[in-house]
Structure 1
Amino acid sequence: MQITDVRIRKIEADGKMKAIVSITFDNEFVVHDIKIIQGQGGLFIAMPSRKTPAGDFRDIAHPINTDTREKIQSAILEAFEKVRIEESKIEVPNSEESKIEEFAGEAIK
Structure 2
Amino acid sequence: MTDVSLNRINLNGPVKALVSVTFDDAFAVHEIKVVEGKKGLFIAMPSQVSPEGIYQDIVHPISQEARDSLSKAVFDAFHLFIIESKGNKEC
Superposition TM-score tier, normalisation by shorter sequence: over 0.9
- Can you give the 5+ residue segments of structure 2 that lack an aligned partner in the other structure? none
Aligned-partner residue type, residue 91 of structure 1: K
Query: Which has the larger share of helix?
Result: 1
Percent of aligned positions that are identical: 43
User: Equivalent residue for 1:12?
Assistant: 10
Cα distance in 2, alignment partners of residues 20 and 62 from structure 1: 15
Query: Which has the larger share of strand?
Result: 2
- May I ask how many residue pairs the two structures share in their alignment? 91
Q: TM-score, normalised by structure 1?
A: 0.78
Of residues 68, 73, 76, the one that matches 2:74 is 76
Query: What is the CA RMSD across the aligned residues, in angstroms?
Result: 1.5
Deviation at 1:49, TM superposition (A): 0.1
Higher relative contact order by CA 8 Å / sep ≥ 6: 1 or 2? 2
User: Equivalent residue for 1:66?
Assistant: 64
User: Which protein is bigger by CA-based radius of gyration?
Assistant: 1
After TM superposition, where is structure 1 displaced by more than 2 Å over at least 4 residues in a row? 9-14
Q: TM-score, normalised by structure 2?
A: 0.93
